[in-house]
């Protein structure tokens, strides 16, 4: 699974991924640019990239933990991950797989090794330490009649590559830059993009042990990604 990730340099996102910014994201950027995001956790409002009405990729905010638009009242589940192998046929994710695919920008993520606590956290990133994007799904949910809608998202997972296999039996789907447009194209159905849902090239990634301080969502500083 993917339960924590990082965006250490928000300023780099727009330039690195070639996207526009929505107004809510610009306000968010001003608040967190000084410190970065070293411990993005479920329920946090996070940057996601979606096409705007003109089809241009645009950064906005959504809450991590998917709630389908058809859910009424308090949701029983808010999954942070979706299995790529079954998302197209799952009642929870099927509609989003067809029409509401997004990119979730990051520059690293954490995974925990071990069957029982205390598990060892690892930080995983690209060898060149550049930003990348997870394959995500999003939904717009209305908590109640007359309430403001809430955008939510989940991250797709797949089988691990050689870097992740010793640590965990799943990894997030990381998309090649050349696949971004295809993944977000509303004209393509889930079957048309199924080939993108695969383990990322292990030769471009690295993983190392980090402090268990990352276990607490409230911790957010550069020491979380320092090797131990």
Number of helical H runs and strand E runs in the chain: 4, 14
Is residue 139 annotated as a catalytic residue, yes or no?
Answer: no
Which tokens is 188 given?
A: 């393509």
**What is the C-alpha to C-alpha distance for residues 179 and 193, in angstroms, rounded to an integer?**
9
Helix (H) or strand (E) holding 24: helix 23-32
- Strand-strand pairing, 81-83 and 20-21: unpaired
* Residue 148 DSSP symbol: P
Q: Which residue is catalytic, options 14, 46, 102, 111?
A: 111
With contact defined as beta carbons under 8 Å apart, do 50 and 102 qualify? yes
Q: Which residue is catalytic, options 2, 14, 46, 102?
A: 2
Is residue 2 annotated as a catalytic residue, yes or no?
Answer: yes
**What is the C-alpha to C-alpha distance for residues 165 and 147, in angstroms, rounded to an integer?**
44
> Which residues participate in catalysis according to the annotation?
2, 111
């Amino acid at each position: 699974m993917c339960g924590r990730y990082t965006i250490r340099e928000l300023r780099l996102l727009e330039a690195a991924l070639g996207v526009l910014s929505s107004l809510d994201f610009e306000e968010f950027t001003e608040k967190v640019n000084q410190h970065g995001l070293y411990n993005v956790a479920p329920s946090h409002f996070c940057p996601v990239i979606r096409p705007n009405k003109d089809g241009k990729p645009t950064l906005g905010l959504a809450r991590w933990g998917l709630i389908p638009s058809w859910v009424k009242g308090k949701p029983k589940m808010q999954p942070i991950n979706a299995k790529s192998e079954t998302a197209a046929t799952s009642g929870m994710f099927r509609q989003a797989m067809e029409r509401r695919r997004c990119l979730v920008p990051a520059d690293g993520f954490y995974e925990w090794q071990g069957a029982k606590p205390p598990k060892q956290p690892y930080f995983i990133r690209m060898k060149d330490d550049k930003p990348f994007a997870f394959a995500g799904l999003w939904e717009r949910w209305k908590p109640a009649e007359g309430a403001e809608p809430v955008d939510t998202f989940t991250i797709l997972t797949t089988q691990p590559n050689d870097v992740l296999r010793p640590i965990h039996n799943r990894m997030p789907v990381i998309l090649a830059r050349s696949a971004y447009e295809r993944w977000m194209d509303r004209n393509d159905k889930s079957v048309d993009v199924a080939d993108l849902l695969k383990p990322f090239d292990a030769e471009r990634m690295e993983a190392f042990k980090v402090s268990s301080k990352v276990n607490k969502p409230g911790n957010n500083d550069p020491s979380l990604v320092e090797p131990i």
